[in-house]
Structure 1
């Protein structure tokens, strides 16, 4: 097995679920090593691995994406992973934007126990609560609390009676939930948001000031997020058996859907994550679960819950539907890997 390089990039950036405002500089720090099977020549790769690599480099859905890291694995660990281009590896720390939602939902359900969740909590997790943020102002100032991020100086979350019971994709639902549960926590320091989340999930995610925006402010690497996905498919979380519960329609034009970024056909939204599917012979069937970030970070677990996949990248300048672009590319690579045939 090969080990990745010795440095990764930490974004000194304030982040939002649907955008960003201002960035500082990047710094290099020693990176944890991570064993992932990687071929170094065509002869060293299996047919399936070579098909995946060729697809990443040549397919129409992947060519526009720039540099990224792709990985597929099981509950036992990675099966195969590779960087396309330079500067992005399994340990590159980046803003994960709305991929934060799945982590926060997992930690919240873990901390409360699903059986103890009330209807209002479930509605805040499946985005039908009516709590919507009025502003995309950054919550990345040092010392900001979850409570302050909720308030008028930042997110300015408000309750909209007419949206109660309707799907409205927005971080305000989770910000209200966090206000009531961990409102005094900050992004860094003693009793930070990530101290709470990592304790419940058993994950190694790093702290950042923007963590107080629980629906979109987290940062991490593929290796960090991998821990969550492996534990999820190994049934180590309350959420593991609840990936399809409390699901609501979330596609454009769907019943009781007010606002959604989903453009890839029919889909549902569960507790903090998308439920993907496909229609075959007129019947819609679940194919997987995901939580794509606006800058391109895409984590996925299949419907059988025996495989996970990640595509890690961050495109903030000129970003436009980057999560959907990553989804399309990642799924094309996965198909190539499973069939052993490069995909167009």
Structure 2
């Protein structure tokens, strides 16, 4: 973590006394402070950190989201990290839903090498292959294989020729890819999906029965996902330099778009992740890359690959809108952190 004089560890309840966060668990929170007595002044934070903290706690985008953990970092590690409320820390394991897609894409490209990807493989990774899930049944039964998850008892992935070449946001594309690549693997045990994925990415994501659905069944913590994001920044993956390649329009009403959950205006979809951007002087410009999950887990790296962010929360009764809510909150926090101005 970036230092401002030294690092100290302040209990979550100690931060409550400052009005910084809600009272958390007994686990300590590492924060950057100046050379003042620990926990005595909000002035220990930089202007950007304080603005980000205020935004996370009070902004219109963040205040309805309940408890969550968030951190901003670089390729060297976290720069500023803190929970909001209780019960969620960097180590809290939760279902990541569609945040799984980026991990799977990263591992698949790593295993093949980008130059060796076929046109069909790229289409399954950017969701234009025509393979669509017929239902959203979770492949969470113990002992289920990837190939069984693909079948009629669970995802029931089918090929729709009229959707071939069109963007259709759906896990069926990746499920078909996994079927052909590792259909016999299971969620837990010998030769699990995570055995393969962790070996490719150098991560330590936990096994779970639902991991046989690689487009949405992984679980993990912010700290575990952080490893993936840092390696992306540090150019340690085949995907690191290919975050904008093979991208397709992915916004509602965009050319060739059949189905999308995106609600934030013009955007594109690359290999297993969204490409965020904004219009500046009439030109659309990439600002970052992300993979928000339906329960609210949101990972991000900026376009320059110098910063990452994770906002970890789990609202399992929600839908795709929970990921979009986390995205809006994270954008506000980042803007506050960079500008030093709290966001409304």
TM-score normalized by structure 2? 0.90
Equivalents in 2 of 1:318, 1:298: separation in Å? Answer: 14
Equivalents in 2 of 1:233, 1:37: separation in Å? Answer: 22
For the Cα contact (< 8 Å) 1:37–1:78, is it kept in 2? no
Question: Which residue number corresponds to residue 16 of structure 2?
Answer: none
Give the direction of change, closer, same or farther, for the CA distance of 1:171–1:181 in structure 2 (3 Å limit).
Answer: same
Equivalents in 2 of 1:96, 1:306: separation in Å? Answer: 24
**Larger Cα Rg: Structure 1 or Structure 2?**
2
The answer as to 2:79 corresponding to 1:79 is yes
1:1-344 equivalence runs, <5 A = 1=7, 36-38=30-32, 40=39, 41-319=41-319, 321-344=321-344
Give the direction of change, closer, same or farther, for the CA distance of 1:238–1:66 in structure 2 (3 Å limit).
Answer: same
Structure with the largest fraction of strand: 1
Equivalents in 2 of 1:75, 1:296: separation in Å? Answer: 24
TM-score normalized by structure 1? 0.90
CA deviations 1:207-247 (Å, max 9, x no partner) are 10000000000000000000000000100000001000000
CA deviations 1:44-72 (Å, max 9, x no partner) are 22221111111111110001100001100
Equivalents in 1 of 2:287, 2:157: separation in Å? Answer: 33
Deviating runs (4+, > 4 A) in structure 1? 2-5, 33-36, 38-41
For the Cα contact (< 8 Å) 2:293–2:320, is it kept in 1? no
CA deviations 1:124-159 (Å, max 9, x no partner) are 000000000101112000000000000011000000
Give the direction of change, closer, same or farther, for the CA distance of 1:213–1:4 in structure 2 (3 Å limit).
Answer: farther
Q: Which runs of 5+ in 2 are unaligned?
A: 1-6, 12-25, 34-38
How many residues were matched structurally?
A: 319
User: Which shifted more, 164-173 or 40-49?
Assistant: 40-49
Equivalents in 1 of 2:143, 2:29: separation in Å? Answer: 36
For the Cα contact (< 8 Å) 1:275–1:289, is it kept in 2? yes
Describe the SS at the equivalent of 2:239. helix
Equivalents in 2 of 1:319, 1:249: separation in Å? Answer: 22
Give the direction of change, closer, same or farther, for the CA distance of 1:164–1:319 in structure 2 (3 Å limit).
Answer: closer
CA deviations 1:285-331 (Å, max 9, x no partner) are 00000000000000000001100001000011244600010000011
For the Cα contact (< 8 Å) 1:52–1:334, is it kept in 2? yes
Equivalents in 1 of 2:195, 2:10: separation in Å? Answer: 27
Question: Which residue number corresponds to residue 15 of structure 1?
Answer: none
CA deviations 1:245-302 (Å, max 9, x no partner) are 0000000000000000011000000000000000112100000000000000000000
For the Cα contact (< 8 Å) 1:291–1:298, is it kept in 2? yes
For the Cα contact (< 8 Å) 1:4–1:90, is it kept in 2? no
Describe the SS at the equivalent of 1:229. helix
1:3 positional shift: 5.9
CA deviations 1:64-120 (Å, max 9, x no partner) are 100001100000000001100000111111010000000000000000011110000
Describe the SS at the equivalent of 2:190. coil
Equivalents in 2 of 1:273, 1:67: separation in Å? Answer: 25
Equivalents in 2 of 1:170, 1:225: separation in Å? Answer: 22
Question: Which residue number corresponds to residue 24 of structure 1?
Answer: none
Describe the SS at the equivalent of 2:246. coil
For the Cα contact (< 8 Å) 2:261–2:320, is it kept in 1? no
Equivalents in 2 of 1:306, 1:140: separation in Å? Answer: 36
1:341 positional shift: 1.5
